[in-house]
């Protein structure tokens, strides 16, 4: 019974196994990035970046159809351009990062929509908005796992300055010049993971695997390494749970994954050990324990 | 200067008027959708001016009539419809046209007269609002044999509306029916070239009942699949299971418009992904199915190339 519900779908259908492999790779790459986004109070930046990527992916789509590399490349270019431009403007002028990013992603979005409507709108463009985790072919899987690997490697390289900048940016500036480059590299990782996500979940929901697992993890621990582990775990549970949910109900897979993550998030808000609502309302019990 | 202008105007009027007179001789025929319009054009030839309420690429099931349609119906010598509830919006349109037209007399001809009706016995078709299990399947034109009866009905209607043209309508009708006969044989020959065991497809179309019973290609509907919106993992799994268990060689699913997903299903089952099938409407001039004959040829080509070994 439990076997039928939880394991049989993956044994019987190759597309389910591929979806699971894709979601695992996505989770391992995106969840740590999400944690750093959250610690740097940039969770909404992820959302803005997703909008910034859309025009690039749409342009790639217009040039060569549903071509994986054209769309990835277009998305990366658009995302990098917006990330770098807003980062540079924020660091070299008095503008704050959030307003420069908002300005640049809106410019990117407007340019993208203009180009798309000049070339004639296409319903297929909706597939860019809503990727499909059930349709991962070999190359898409390879691209996703490749991007996840790159993410982990770069993250390992910039881990130290990134953490220090989260905690004490002034201290980092006094001891090292790595803050700027690390920040830019981090933004690049955000873009890579969003592009990764839109193959599987679409541009609109790709942010979900970045932001929600980190949001869940912060309710369970205050330490960074366990928090990253928690986030990855939450993303994996949401991914697996979402696929199973989509298999047994009529919920489309992408939204199903994010819905499971949302349920975990609400549960964490209520029952989380660190600052969860119940723990805040009845702190005594926890102190005794 | 003024004199020249007036002269020019007079010349213009003079040159335009005779054309008007010519155009007025043609009788106005209004059809409900583009396939009927194609039949009417072929039978009527130069003597009729055919317009279609639902144009090429339009969906007759969900059409919403406009005030211009009321006017068109009011001015038409004859209105040709499919009948059998295909044009659900027709009765109200005709009523308002009767109220507003001068004589209040509008001739509506059902082109499916004398065609043996098939019951729509597809129990899975609960997502379309237009017809339910047990009702008559209105898509009779998908069998070329029936198309000949359509043409005969239209010919009779035109003769009634314009008796002077009877000989022309008969000649045109006979010539067109001869072409349809040839088309019918063409389709049968094409189906005969497909091995018997491979004559079945999964299709989200519900319009091929008559085609299936005339030519012997089974159209199985995808079971338990909601045809709107994004398919869930369950939908995809159901399609894959069905293709495997019934050994179906090809899939025609327009509702799953994501080519990546169709390719995934194809590579997981070994079934081929078929192209577009045209059912309820012709395409415009530049499309692959600007006429009825072109539409049938397009469909049979899509089917044979997907079902061939």
Question: B124 to chain A, minimum CA–CA distance in Å?
Answer: 16
Chain A interface mutation, best of B233, B244, B257, B267, highest count of A Cβ atoms under 10 Å: B233
Q: Which range is least confidently modeled, A263-277, B39-53, B110-124? A: B110-124
Chain A residue with the nearest C-alpha to that of B234: A247
Edge-to-edge order in the sheet of strand B48-54: B48-54, B27-33, B78-81, B108-110
Nearest CB partner across the interface for A253, out of B226, B233, B259: B233
What residues of chain B lie within 8 A of the CB of A248, using their CB? 234
**How many CB atoms lie under 10 A from the CB of residue B178?**
11
Predicted pLDDT of residue B229: 56
Q: Between chains, do A9 and B231 touch, taking CB under 8 Å as contact?
A: no
Q: Between chains, do B237 and A123 touch, taking CB under 8 Å as contact?
A: no
Which residues of A touch chain B, with CB atoms under 8 Å apart? 9, 12-16, 18-19, 66, 123-124, 127, 130, 132, 134-137, 243, 246-254, 256
Question: A46 to chain B, minimum CA–CA distance in Å?
Answer: 25
Q: Between chains, do A137 and B258 touch, taking CB under 8 Å as contact?
A: no
Q: Between chains, do A123 and B257 touch, taking CB under 8 Å as contact?
A: yes
The interface predicted TM-score (ipTM) is 0.75
What residues of chain B lie within 8 A of the CB of A260, using their CB? none
What average pLDDT does the segment B125-154 reach?
76
Q: Is B104 left (phi over 0), alpha (psi -120 to 50) or beta?
A: left
Predicted pLDDT of residue B39: 95
Q: Which range is least confidently modeled, A91-100, A158-167, B35-44, B253-262? A: B253-262
Domains of chain B: 18-176 (3.40.50.1980), 192-307 (3.40.50.1980)
Chain B residue with the nearest C-alpha to that of A128: B258
What average pLDDT does the segment B238-266 reach?
79
Chain A residue with the nearest C-alpha to that of B260: A135
Q: Between chains, do A132 and B268 touch, taking CB under 8 Å as contact?
A: no
Tens digits of per-residue pLDDT, A200-219? 787 667 888 899 999 999 99
Could you tell me which residue, A285 or B309, shows the higher pLDDT? B309
Strands B200-203 and B108-110: unpaired
Tens digits of per-residue pLDDT, B4-25? 655 555 555 544 444 444 555 7
Strands B27-33 and B78-81: parallel
Alpha carbon distance B278, B299 (integer Å): 7
Question: B38 to chain A, minimum CA–CA distance in Å?
Answer: 29
Q: What's the sign of the alpha-carbon dihedral B113, B118, B119, B125?
A: negative
Residue B66 binned pLDDT confidence (cut-offs 50, 70, 90): confident
What residues of chain B lie within 8 A of the CB of A15, using their CB? 233, 236, 240, 264-265, 268
Chain B interface mutation, best of A246, A255, A259, highest count of B Cβ atoms under 10 Å: A246
Predicted pLDDT of residue B279: 83
Q: Between chains, do B261 and A14 touch, taking CB under 8 Å as contact?
A: no
Alpha carbon distance A135, A113 (integer Å): 26
SS3 assignment, position A252: strand
Tell me whether residue A159 is exposed, middle or buried, using C-beta atoms within 10 angstroms of its C-beta: 0 to 12, 13 to 18, 19 or more.
middle
Q: Between chains, do B233 and A9 touch, taking CB under 8 Å as contact?
A: yes
Tens digits of per-residue pLDDT, A215-241? 999 999 999 999 999 999 999 999 999
Alpha carbon distance A143, A264 (integer Å): 28
What average pLDDT does the segment A96-104 reach?
84
Q: Between chains, do A127 and B268 touch, taking CB under 8 Å as contact?
A: no
Whole-number Cα distances in Å, A160 to A33, A46, A222? 14, 22, 17
Query: Is-above-0.80 flag for pTM?
Result: no
Chain B residue with the nearest C-alpha to that of A245: B233
Q: Please determine, for residue B156, whether its predicted confidence score (pLDDT) is greater than 70.
A: yes
Question: A151 to chain B, minimum CA–CA distance in Å?
Answer: 26
The share of chain A scoring above pLDDT 90, in percent, equals 30
What residues of chain B lie within 8 A of the CB of A130, using their CB? 230
What residues of chain A lie within 8 A of the CB of B230, using their CB? 130, 132, 252, 254
Record the tokens describing residue A236, joined without a space: 């994996």
Residue B137 binned pLDDT confidence (cut-offs 50, 70, 90): confident
What residues of chain B lie within 8 A of the CB of A18, using their CB? 264
Nearest CB partner across the interface for B232, out of A14, A66, A252: A252
Question: B63 to chain A, minimum CA–CA distance in Å?
Answer: 21
**How many CB atoms lie under 10 A from the CB of residue A187?**
23
Question: A44 to chain B, minimum CA–CA distance in Å?
Answer: 27
Question: B262 to chain A, minimum CA–CA distance in Å?
Answer: 8
B222 touches chain A (CB under 8 A): no
What average pLDDT does the segment A72-94 reach?
84
Q: Between chains, do A246 and B240 touch, taking CB under 8 Å as contact?
A: no
Predicted pLDDT of residue B297: 94
């Amino acid at each position: 019974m439990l076997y039928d519900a939880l394991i049989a779908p993956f044994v019987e259908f190759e597309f389910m196994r591929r979806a699971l492999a894709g979601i695992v790779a996505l989770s391992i790459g995106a969840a740590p990035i999400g944690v750093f986004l959250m610690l740097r109070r940039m969770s909404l930046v992820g959302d803005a970046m997703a909008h910034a990527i859309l025009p690039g992916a749409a342009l790639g789509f217009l040039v060569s159809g549903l071509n994986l590399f054209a769309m990835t490349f277009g998305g990366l270019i658009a995302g990098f351009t917006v990330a770098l431009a807003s980062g540079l403007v924020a660091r070299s002028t008095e503008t704050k990062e959030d307003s420069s990013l908002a300005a640049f992603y809106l410019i990117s979005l407007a340019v993208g929509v203009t180009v798309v409507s000049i070339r004639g709108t296409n319903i297929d463009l909706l597939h860019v908005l809503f990727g499909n985790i059930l349709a991962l072919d070999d190359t898409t899987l390879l691209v996703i796992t490749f991007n996840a690997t790159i993410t982990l490697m770069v993250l390992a390289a910039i881990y130290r300055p990134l953490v220090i900048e989260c905690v004490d940016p002034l201290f980092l500036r006094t001891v090292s010049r790595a803050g700027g480059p690390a920040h830019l590299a981090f933004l690049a990782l955000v873009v890579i993971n969003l592009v990764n996500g839109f193959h599987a979940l679409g541009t609109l929901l790709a942010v979900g695997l970045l932001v929600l697992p980190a949001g869940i993890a912060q309710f369970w621990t205050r330490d960074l390494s366990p928090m990253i582990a928690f986030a990855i775990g939450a993303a994996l549970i949401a991914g697996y749970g979402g696929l199973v949910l989509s298999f047994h109900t009529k919920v489309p897979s992408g939204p199903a994954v994010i819905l499971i993550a949302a349920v975990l998030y609400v549960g964490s808000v209520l029952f989380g050990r660190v600052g969860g609502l119940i723990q805040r309302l009845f702190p005594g019990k926890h102190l005794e324990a | 200067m003024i004199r020249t202008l007036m002269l020019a105007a007079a010349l213009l009027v003079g040159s335009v008027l005779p054309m008007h007179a010519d155009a007025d001789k043609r009788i106005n025929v209004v059809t409900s959708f583009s396939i009927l319009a194609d039949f009417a054009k072929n039978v009527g030839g130069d003597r009729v001016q055919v317009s279609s309420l639902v144009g090429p690429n339009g969906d007759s099931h969900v059409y919403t009539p406009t005030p211009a349609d009321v006017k068109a119906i009011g001015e038409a010598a004859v209105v040709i419809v499919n009948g059998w509830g295909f044009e659900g919006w027709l009765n109200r349109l005709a009523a308002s046209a009767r109220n507003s037209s001068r004589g209040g007399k509008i001739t509506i001809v059902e082109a499916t007269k004398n065609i043996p009706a098939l019951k729509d016995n597809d129990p899975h078709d609960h997502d379309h609002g237009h017809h339910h299990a047990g009702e008559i399947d209105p898509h009779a034109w998908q069998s070329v044999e029936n198309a000949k009866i359509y043409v005969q009905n239209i010919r009779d209607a035109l003769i009634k509306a314009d008796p002077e043209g009877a000989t022309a309508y008969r000649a045109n009708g006979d010539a067109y029916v001869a072409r349809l006969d040839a088309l019918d044989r063409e389709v049968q020959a094409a189906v005969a070239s497909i091995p018997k065991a491979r004559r079945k497809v999964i299709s989200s179309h519900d319009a091929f009942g008559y085609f299936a019973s005339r030519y012997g290609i089974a159209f199985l509907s995808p079971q338990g699949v909601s045809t709107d919106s994004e398919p869930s993992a369950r939908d995809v799994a159901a399609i894959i299971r069905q293709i495997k268990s019934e050994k179906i060689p090809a899939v025609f699913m327009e509702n799953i418009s994501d080519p990546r997903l169709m390719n995934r299903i194809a590579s997981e089952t070994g079934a081929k992904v078929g192209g577009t099938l045209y059912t309820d409407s012709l395409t415009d001039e530049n499309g692959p199915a600007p006429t009825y004959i072109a539409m049938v040829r397009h469909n049979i080509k899509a089917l044979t190339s997907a079902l061939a070994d």
